[in-house]
């Protein structure tokens, strides 16, 4: 896959997808968002890819949000169309069958923060910072950020970040549960790769079922979610990997999953 604003590297079942616009802090203009949609679609469908890492080029930014000049020219209908298009891409990341890890290496602001939020696991460098500063330009998050942020860190903290537009550093992001882990900047990508390779060694079907249980179950009331979990639990027992995994455990050997 070749793109103007993205880099894609696939190795040992792990795809590293890098937003490559460091001169503008990896801001996501219309072309970048379109390329991101196409890249995500292809990687999710690629049987050679088991886990995806999302990151930004350079040391300063993961993604610094949208192109304000382009946003200024939008009318309400165009703004709604843009929001729905990007929400579709971000939902594909969030609900797709493969784990997606955000390796946040700097600024994750506006749409960049929203991109990190739709990933399954977020690792941050010590120099990373997060924010939803849309209020400062008279708008609000439009790519699902208001909903994912509140679900992740709670309504009060989400409202404070959205109402003030202030940034928070990596330590605060970890404290409120926005990121899973904070690591030294020079170890961020290697730590993301280590985690990705660990996940890639798991059975593909079981990983997908685990992701579905969380993503879909959170949208249901508790009783329905538990019933849904029971259905997925039962479905896992129809796989060869379930039998292999349990047999390997009892035989005290590593499992040899075949994704069936």
- What positions carry a catalytic annotation? 114, 134
What CA–CA distance (Å, rounded) separates 220 from 147? 15
Retrieve residue 173's tokens: 């992001």
Residues 6 or more apart in contact with residue 128 via CB below 8 angstroms: 62, 104, 105, 106, 107, 108, 169, 170, 173, 179, 182
Residues 6 or more apart in contact with residue 198 via CB below 8 angstroms: none
What CA–CA distance (Å, rounded) separates 143 from 163? 17
What CA–CA distance (Å, rounded) separates 188 from 117? 17
């Amino acid at each position: 896959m070749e793109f103007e604003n993205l880099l894609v590297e696939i190795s040992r079942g792990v795809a590293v997808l890098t937003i490559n616009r460091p001169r503008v802090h990896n801001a996501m203009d219309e072309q970048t968002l379109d390329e991101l949609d196409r890249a995500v679609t292809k990687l999710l469908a690629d049987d050679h890819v088991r886990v995806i890492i999302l990151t930004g080029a350079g040391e300063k930014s993961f993604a610094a949000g949208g192109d304000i000049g382009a946003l200024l020219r939008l009318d309400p209908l165009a703004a709604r169309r843009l929001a729905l298009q990007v929400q579709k891409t971000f939902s594909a990341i969030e609900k797709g069958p493969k784990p997606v890890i955000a390796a946040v290496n700097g600024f994750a602001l506006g749409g960049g923060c929203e991109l990190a939020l739709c990933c399954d696991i977020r690792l941050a460098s010590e120099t990373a910072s997060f924010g939803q500063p849309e209020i400062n330009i008279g708008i609000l998050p439009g790519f699902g950020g208001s909903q994912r942020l509140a679900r992740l860190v709670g309504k009060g903290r989400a409202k404070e970040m959205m109402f003030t537009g202030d940034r928070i550093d990596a330590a605060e992001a970890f404290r409120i549960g926005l990121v899973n882990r904070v690591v030294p900047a020079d170890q961020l990508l290697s730590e993301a790769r280590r985690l990705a390779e660990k996940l890639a060694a798991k059975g593909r079907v079981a990983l997908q079922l685990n992701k579905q249980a969380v993503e879909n179950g959170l949208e249901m009331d508790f009783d329905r979610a538990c019933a849904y979990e029971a259905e997925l639990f039962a479905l896992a027992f129809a796989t060869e990997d379930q039998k292999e995994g349990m047999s390997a455990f009892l035989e005290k050997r590593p499992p040899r999953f075949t994704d069936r």
